Chains A and B, each alone.
Chain A
Amino acid sequence: MPVIKFSYTPEVFINQETGKVNYIYRPLIPTRLCNKHIFSKFPVNCLLDSGADKNLFPAEWGEMVRLKIKSGKEVTHYGIGKKDIKAYRHKVKLYIGVYHFETEADFSYEQQFPLLGREGFFKYFERITFREKDHIVTLEY
């Protein structure tokens, strides 16, 4: 079974208790977005979020592959701080290296950090393993 492996990305973090600057390691997957035959020019790091049901992307990213964002079905996302945000659902293709698949993604003008969710991303893989001690995530398909 083919396996794609990514190291977690070290991102800067200020410890709220000590004020010390350090790194926090996050499972970010470089992802290319495709609408029909229009590809994003460069991959964008998306957070592999097992707590998210759906893919949630910034609307701007969808506009760059010529999606008419508000023509998509309007949906609501809910989560931290009891906050709702509005998003619009579209069919897209996602490319992870050479592996690609058609899926749905929700695009919102209120979301900056791209998230990969279980129904929109995880389900297209046989197994996804988070190796916390090694800071590696493996995607088997």
Chain B
Amino acid sequence: MNKIDSKNLLKNQNKWIAISSNKKAILTSGKSIKEIENKLTKLRVKDAIISFVPPANKYLSPLLCL
């Protein structure tokens, strides 16, 4: 399984990142999805996945809903 280097992920906690199509690299990062899309457009990237990097020192327990 492809993994992004943990040091790169740690630098981008609480940020949005764009992951390459082979899931090995971070192409760019930013504070919002819009910022990421704008950066990807400038880089002329056509294939990427946008993802939020949660804080690494906390467990993820999303909200329930009503």
Chain A residues within CB distance 8 Å of chain B: 7, 9-14, 16, 21-23, 26, 28, 30, 41-45, 47, 49, 51-54, 56, 58, 60-61, 64, 75-80, 83, 85, 106, 111-115, 117, 135
Contacts and interface: CB of A to CB of B under 8 A. Distances in A.
Contact of B56 (A14, A51, A112): A14
Contacts, number: 108
A15 to B, nearest CB: 9
Nearest to A21: B6
12 contacts: A11-B9, A11-B54, A22-B6, A41-B40, A41-B41, A56-B65, A61-B33, A64-B33, A80-B62, A85-B63, A113-B60, A113-B62
Interface residues of B, number: 34
Contact of A79 (B3, B41, B65): B65
B25 to A, nearest CB: 14
Nearest to A120: B65
Interface in B2-25: 3-4, 6, 9-10, 13, 18-19, 23
Contacts of B34: 60, 64
Interface string B23-66: 10000000011101100110000001111111011011111111
Given A7-B1, A42-B40, A64-B34, A79 B50 contact: no
A58 to B, nearest CB: 7
